[in-house]
A and B are shown apart, each in its own frame.
Chain A
Amino acid sequence: MRYVIAGYVVILTLLFLYAVQLAWRRRRLTRAVARATSAYPAPDAAPGRPA
C-alpha cells in the first residue's frame, strides 16, 4: 500500500505545485502589465503639459 500512497502523493503534489506556480506567474505578469499601462497618465491629463 505504501507504493500506492507514494504514487498518489507524488502525482498530486507535482500537479498542485505546477498549478500554484501557474497562478503565481499569471499574477506577476498581470501586475507587470498593469504597471506598464495604468501607471502612466493620459497625455492630456499630465501636469505641466502645454495646452
Chain B
Amino acid sequence: MTDLAPATGTRAPSAGTSDHPSDQPVSNTRVTPPPEQSARARTTERVIGVLALVGTAFTVWLGLWVTPPDKQQGDLVRLVYIHPGVAWVALYLAFGLAAVSSVLYLWPRTRSLFWDRLAAASVEVGVVFNVCTLVSGAIWGKPTWGVWWAWDARLTLTAVLLVLFLGYLALRRVPAEPEVRARRSAFVALFAVLDVPLVHFSVNWWNTLHQGATVLNPGLTLKIHGSMAWTLLLGFVAMTLAFVWMLLVRYRIGLLEDWLDANELDAALAERQSEGTRTPDAGGAPAAATAGVPGGTPVESAGVA
C-alpha cells in the first residue's frame, strides 16, 4: 500500500494575517497540489488489479467447470467458491480494518486524518461486499431453504451490520470540520463493528438455517477437500486482491476530495487572479492590487464572473 501516504488534509498555507477571504492577498495565493501518487504505487496498484481479475477469472472457471458437484447440494455447492470470499472481505477485512483504523485515529499518539480516510475507504468498499454477501446468500437460500430470506440469526445480524455501516457513511456526509467528522465516525465504526463477532458466532450460539463455518470454525478444521478446497482458497485470495485494489483507489479518492474541500477557496482566488492578469482589458494592472477589495470590482470588470 505504497500510495497510502499520510496527509493532513489541512488548508494550504497562504499569506495574510486574517482568515477572511477578502483579506488574503491574492497575488500570493498559490495552491499546493496534493501528494502525487508515485510511479511505484501506480504500478503496484495495476499489478494488484490485474492479479484480482486473473484470480477471479480462474475462480469462476474452476468453480463452474472444473470442480465436481457435491453429494448433497449438487451444483449449488459451486456458490461456495464466491459467497464466503465476499463475506470474508466485508466482515473481517473491510470492517476489521475500519475498526483498527478508527482506534488508531482515536489514539492520541497515532492520530492522523490518514487513519480516518483509510477507515472511510474501507467501510465504503466493505458495504459493497456486504451487499454482495446478502444478495448471493439469498440466491443460495432460495433453492436450498425454499425462501429468499429468513429472519435467521446470521442473516439478520449481517443485514444489521449493513445498516450500521450505511449509517456510518451517512454520518460522514454531515457537514463538519474534518477532525470532528473523523472523531464521530471513529466512534460509530467501533460501535458498528461489535456486530461482527455476533455474526461470526451466530451459527454456534443459536440454531440457525445457515450452515456452520467451512474454514473459520472453532477447531479451524477444513471441511472441504481437494480441488474444491483449492478453488475456495483461490476465491478468498481473488476477493482479497479485489478489495485491496478498491481500497487503494477509494483512499486516493478520499485524499483528493479532502484536498478539494480544503483548497476550494484558494483555488477560486487563484483562478480569479490568473484570469484577471491574463485579460488585456485589465490594462496590465495587476489584479492582485485590487482583487483583495471586497466586491472585487476590478476583476469583475475584466470579464470574470
Q: A residues near B, CB below 8 A? A: 1, 3-8, 10-12, 14-15, 18-19, 22-23, 25-26, 29-30, 32-33, 36-43, 46-50
Contacts and interface: CB of A to CB of B under 8 A. Distances in A.
A37 B32 CA distance: 7
B128 A7 contact: no
A16 to B, nearest CB: 9
Contacts of A30: 256
B246 A46 contact: no
Interface in B43-91: 56, 60, 63-64, 75-76, 78-79, 82-83, 86
Contacts of B117: none
A25 B257 CA distance: 10
B72 to A, nearest CB: 15
Contacts of A14: 128, 131-132, 135
Interface of B: 27-28, 30-34, 56, 60, 63-64, 75-76, 78-79, 82-83, 86, 125, 128-129, 131-132, 135-136, 139-140, 142-143, 242, 245-246, 249-250, 252-253, 256-257, 259-260, 263, 267, 270-271, 273-274, 277-278, 282, 284-286, 288
Contact of B259 (A26, A33, A42, A50): A33
B142 A3 contact: yes
A8 B144 CA distance: 16
Interface of A is mostly: helix
Contacts of B249: 19, 22-23, 26
A32 B260 contact: yes
Given A3-B142, A15-B132, A40 B274 contact: yes
Given A7-B79, A46-B274, A36 B263 contact: yes
Chain B contact residues, majority secondary structure: helix
B136 A11 contact: yes
A23 B27 CA distance: 35
Contact of A18 (B30, B246, B277, B285): B246
Q: Which of A6, A36, A42 has the most CB of B within 10 A?
A: A36
Nearest to B34: A33
Contacts, number: 118
Contacts of A18: 125, 128, 246
Please provide the 10 A-B residue pairs with the shortest distance between their CB atoms, ordered closest to farther. Answer: A36-B267, A29-B256, A48-B284, A46-B277, A40-B274, A7-B139, A37-B33, A40-B270, A22-B249, A4-B78
A12 B109 CA distance: 41
Contact of A43 (B28, B78, B271): B28
Given A22-B250, A29-B257, A41 B135 contact: no
B142 A26 contact: no
Nearest to A14: B132
Contacts of B286: 48-50
A39 B83 CA distance: 47
26 contacts: A3-B142, A4-B75, A4-B78, A6-B139, A7-B140, A8-B60, A8-B63, A10-B135, A10-B139, A15-B129, A22-B249, A22-B253, A26-B253, A32-B256, A33-B256, A33-B260, A37-B32, A37-B33, A40-B271, A40-B273, A42-B30, A43-B30, A46-B273, A46-B277, A48-B277, A49-B286
